[in-house]
Amino acid sequence: MRMVELGRTGEKISVLGQGTWGLNRRNSEQWKAPLRKGIELGMTHIDTAEVYGFGAAEKTVGKVIAEYDRDDLFITTKLFPMHLGYQSSKKAAYNSLKRLGLKSVDLYLIHWPIPFTIKKLMKLLEDLVDEGKTRYIGVSNYSVEQFKKAQSYLKKHELVNNQLRAHLQDQKHINESLPFYLKEGVTMTAYSPLAHSGFTKLKGELGEKLEKIAKSHKVTIQQIAIAWLINHENVIAIPKALKIEHVEANAKAADIKLKKDEIELLSTK
């Protein structure tokens, strides 16, 4: 698995991680084997959130990662910003750690931007770093302007990551946001890299281009779609998979090196 630097931290992180959106109490057992396979294939970055399954995702991730050497894993979770105050938000962060069975996470994100809470939550993030509850901090679903505002409230630490929805049919953040993050040395995490359909019904010019490139590399269109994202500098991705064969296919996408003209062919401006 290819490893890349997280922001300018010097920390190496797998260019492909594992997302857990959709994990809940009813299907938790189904997720365990795919997560294990992903770790074994080098997708050691696991992303979750307190809101996924209302805590069930963190609990399941916690059970799986307990089977591995903590130092071999990179764990990200996210605070849902609907807690009323600083103390309730801090309690939520501690509850996430408890569900994960960890003393600290590697990256802690604010899940969504709510303008009037940004300043308060940036203080929380800094305090969590100072208390050793997270090593790095970042945000999710923030616009560039919201990211700049959030960063301006930090006094000692820096945001190293913004997790954003990005895939072949939604290239907004690749085109409009990534140039800023490249300049600032901030890693962009692409979630839903295969959309929700896995591009199985993709038609038209983009579908034809995707099929052509996949055929030339002798891989699937899904692998090319993932490779297209992570062939961009400063971009990592967190596909989710509930089948072992999908986990294996996702991992192989990290080895695909696209030519510049292939990347441009799939790009929409």
pLDDT at 190 over 80: yes
In tens, the pLDDT along 44-84 reads: 999 999 999 999 999 999 999 999 999 999 999 999 988 87
Determine the pLDDT at residue 202. Answer: 79
Percent of the chain, pLDDT > 90?
91
Q: How far is CA 12 from CA 63, 82, 108, in A?
A: 24, 32, 16
Domain residue ranges of the chain, discontinuous segments joined by + = 3-198+232-244
Give the model confidence (pLDDT) of 106-120 as tens digits.
999 999 999 889 999
* Band of residue 268 on the pLDDT scale cut at 50, 70, 90: confident
Both structure tokens of 6: 């997280």
Average pLDDT over residues 135-146: 98
Which tens digit of pLDDT belongs to each residue from 201-241? 777 888 899 999 999 999 999 999 999 999 999 999 999 99
pLDDT at position 200, please?
77
- The per-residue pLDDT for range 166-179, each reduced to its tens digit, is 999 999 999 999 99
pLDDT band at 191; cut points 50, 70, 90: very high
Is 197's pLDDT higher than 80? Answer: no
Q: Is 218 helix (H, G, I), strand (E, B) or coil?
A: coil
Domain 3-198+232-244 classification at class level? alpha beta
Q: Computed over its alpha carbons, how large is the radius of gyration of the chain?
A: 18
Q: Round the average pLDDT of the chain to a whole number and report it.
A: 96
**If you write DSSP's letter for every residue of 22-84 in order, what string do you get?**
T--TTTHHHHHHHHHHHHHTT--EEE--TTGGGGHHHHHHHHHHTTS-GGG-EEEEEE-TT-S
Q: What is the pLDDT of residue 192?
A: 96
In the chain, the percentage of residues whose pLDDT exceeds 70 is 100
Angle CA(234)–CA(212)–CA(240) in degrees, nearest 5?
Answer: 45
What letter would DSSP give residue 116?
G
**Whole-number pLDDT of residue 203:** 79
DSSP class of residue 160 equals E
